[in-house]
């Protein structure tokens, strides 16, 4: 068993040494060209792509209505079979009073 362990360590050492020699020889001329290619791709493709996505999000947000949706008391929505273990028990963990209705309507409305 010890001989098998020693053999595997020897093979592993030689494989690692072989890999280092091949990597360093191959990477000497290739690395500079690859870095230049990725730099060009970053400035020509990635950054303009991010800018276009940000502009699209900004324009869509400007058109977005910030009014509360109408509350319709559907029987299959907002079912509470037991209370949540936080707060007053009727609000979800990430409750947003502006867009998340409670079972009896939005908060702060006397309708």
Residue-number span of the structural domain to which 52 is assigned: 33-61
Assigned domain for 67 exists: no
User: 111: Cβ–Cβ under 8 A, 6 or more apart, which residues?
Assistant: 71, 105
Most confidently predicted of 4-8, 42-46, 97-101:
42-46
Task: Please tell me the predicted confidence (pLDDT) of residue 25.
Answer: 54
Give a yes or no: residue 50 inside a domain.
yes
More confident residue, 7 or 100: 100
In a domain, 24, yes or no: no
pTM above 0.75, yes or no: no
Residues 76-94: what's their mean pLDDT? 87
Specify the number of domains making up the chain. 1
Give the C-alpha separation, 110 to 107, whole Å: 9
The residue assigned the tokens 């191959």 is: 26
Return d(Cα 39, Cα 24) in angstroms, integer. Answer: 22
Q: What is the pLDDT of residues 19-52, one digit of tens each?
A: 555 555 555 667 899 999 999 999 999 999 999 9
Q: Is residue 45 part of a domain?
A: yes
79 belongs to a structural domain: no
Report yes or no on 40 lying in a domain: yes
């Amino acid at each position: 068993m010890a001989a098998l362990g020693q053999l595997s360590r020897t093979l592993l050492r030689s494989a690692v040494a072989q890999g280092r020699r091949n990597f360093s020889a191959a990477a000497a001329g290739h690395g500079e060209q690859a870095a230049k290619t990725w730099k060009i791709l970053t400035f020509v493709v990635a950054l303009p792509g991010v800018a276009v996505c940000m502009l699209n999000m900004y324009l869509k947000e400007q058109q977005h209505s910030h009014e509360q949706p109408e509350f319709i008391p559907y029987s299959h929505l907002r079912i509470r079979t037991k209370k949540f273990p936080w707060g007053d028990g009727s609000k979800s963990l990430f409750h947003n009073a502006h867009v998340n209705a409670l079972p009896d309507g939005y908060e702060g409305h006397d309708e």
